Structure 1
Amino acid sequence: MLAKGAYEVGASHYPFMIVLHTGFFVSLLIEVLFFSGQFTPHYIWLILFLLLQMLRVWCLVSLGSFWNTKIIILPGANVVAKGPYSFIRHPNYLVVCLEIAVLPLMFQAYFTAICFTILNFIILSIRIPLEEKALKEGTNYTAYLERNNVKQP
């Protein structure tokens, strides 16, 4: 995408996302190995986690070459409005939020579930407004929102 003239937005918060997600897995591993003692997943959480992964794949397939872990804007591009993106604006963030809660709950790692759910909401409260602003400035996002009668903040 960068070779096509795209640019990155919000690079300053990206290292914090990496630390958050790395810390999540480290915390989960430590809590499960040393504190929860629960090595067998609870099947209801496992099923929910697998359903979330199916939703993630749907998100990635729908975005195609636009998928990225960073906020990369291709000027003049049409926003993706198919798949789960035809129902909600940021379905991949929904998947991440839910799996940050579900994966630890699968192993009764309650501290990790609560702590990292809160931290993830904090980082997304920074990231999503940056992404929304960049999409409005660089793509047809505003027209898309108006065409679909989506209320804007």
Structure 2
Amino acid sequence: MIWYALLVAAVAAERLAELVVARRNERWSVARHAIVAGQGHYPAMVALHASLLIGCPVEVWLGGRPFVPALAWPMLAVLVGAQALRWWCIGTLGPRWNTRVIVVPGLPLVARGPYRLLRHPNYVAVVAEGVALPLVHTAWVTALVFTVLDAVVLTVRIRCENRALAAATAMPTPAAAPASASAPA
């Protein structure tokens, strides 16, 4: 159980690193007259993801979930793959990646990296992680509940993101930002 708690803590630390990157990228985007959309669903998304990180060890502890190597090792591989895909997305989008729906008017859609294969590859990583992290230690209730609720949140999120991207790519690029705001902070 201790090693599983450490794994969940590592994923939580990774999430905190994402928030640092997102905050920096938000400043970059705002300096370029970004449009922020979908603020209504964001708190639900944050709460759901925090619940995943809490639910995994709690279910294992309270439910006495066993460690099943035949399930754990493949799920750990899926979890590692999900993290790699997420950071590939972050690297590909650069300062345009964010945990919020923030788009800079006039910028074309990114069509390289994982985005040449899928429109929303980061959400593939989210879904994979939401299944794999709990199942590393057979927390199947957490995996099931997260997956169902995440499907609802992602349906809202993807619609919101698609509308924001369509609107922003149709707009002309705003006047150049001042030279001091041209580099990510």
Q: Which residue of 2 aligns with 1:59?
A: 89
CA distance in 1, matches of 2:99, 2:106: 20
Would the aligned equivalents of 2:89 and 2:121 in 1 still touch at CA under 8 Å? yes
1:83 equivalent to 2:113? Answer yes
CA distance in 2, matches of 1:38, 1:25: 18
Would the aligned equivalents of 2:82 and 2:125 in 1 still touch at CA under 8 Å? yes
- 1:34 Cα deviation after fit: 1.6
Deviating 4+ runs (over 2 angstroms): 36-41
Q: Which residue of 2 aligns with 1:7?
A: 35
CA distance in 2, matches of 1:12, 1:18: 11
1:105 equivalent to 2:135? Answer yes
TM-score w.r.t. the length of structure 1 is: 0.86
1:129 equivalent to 2:159? Answer yes
Gaps of 5+ in 1: 141-153
| 1:13-57 superposed Cα distances (whole Å, 9 cap, x missing partner) | 111111111111111121012214335761111112112211111
- Root-mean-square deviation over aligned CA pairs: 1.4
Would the aligned equivalents of 1:36 and 1:109 in 2 still touch at CA under 8 Å? no
| 1:69-115 superposed Cα distances (whole Å, 9 cap, x missing partner) | 00001000111111000000000011001110111111100000000
Would the aligned equivalents of 2:78 and 2:128 in 1 still touch at CA under 8 Å? no
Instruction: Give the AA of the match of 2:127.
Output: C
- 1:44 pairs, out of 74, 96, 110, with 74
Would the aligned equivalents of 2:65 and 2:139 in 1 still touch at CA under 8 Å? no
CA distance in 1, matches of 2:50, 2:66: 21
Gaps of 5+ in 2: 1-28, 171-185
Q: Which residue of 2 aligns with 1:30?
A: 58
- 1:119 Cα deviation after fit: 0.3
Instruction: Give the AA of the match of 1:136.
Output: A
1:19 is paired with a residue whose SS is: helix
Q: How many residues in Structure 1 have an aligned counterpart in Structure 2?
A: 140
CA distance in 1, matches of 2:103, 2:81: 29
Would the aligned equivalents of 1:32 and 1:39 in 2 still touch at CA under 8 Å? no
CA distance in 2, matches of 1:91, 1:78: 17
